[in-house]
Amino acid sequence: MNENCIFCKIISNEIPSSKVYEDDKFLAFLDIHPVSNGHTLLIPKSHHEWMVNAPDELISEIYKMAKKLMIEIKEKNKCEYVKLSVIGKDVPHFHIHLIPEYNK
């Protein structure tokens, strides 16, 4: 944990979030500035500033979790598909954006 990291504070429940999924390794919650309805952030509970700093095993596991969540988000939100994006610029805690895309 990093005491100055907003995502670490969300993990420790210091800051509230709209949780979508949680287990011992990962937390998924709705983005507070969504690109579309259902925009979800998936983060590891261990603090890694960037994806390149995360262990390979964690990267493999988080992408498997992202796939599972993409299927659930697609079904729940009745969207066309779910985009995946790793930007990592705004918050220095490795995270994945899962962004539903809807028919226009």
Per-residue model confidence as pLDDT tens digits over 6-16: 999 999 999 99
Confirm if 24 and 90 have CB atoms less than 8 A apart: no
Residue type at position 17: S
Question: Quick check: is 48 catalytic?
Answer: no
CATH fold of 6-101 reads HIT family, subunit A (3.30.428)
Residue type at position 87: I
Query: What stretches of the chain adopt beta strand conformation (E)?
Result: 19-22, 26-30, 40-44, 81-85, 96-101
Q: Give 36-61 as a DSSP string.
A: STT-EEEEESS--SSGGGS-HHHHHH
* 3-state SS assignment for residue 83: strand
- Of 39, 93, 95, 97, which one is the catalytic site residue? 95
Predicted confidence band of residue 21 (pLDDT cuts 50, 70, 90): very high
Each domain of the chain, given as residue ranges in start order, spans 6-101
Per-residue model confidence as pLDDT tens digits over 22-77: 999 999 999 999 999 999 999 999 999 999 999 999 999 999 999 999 999 999 99
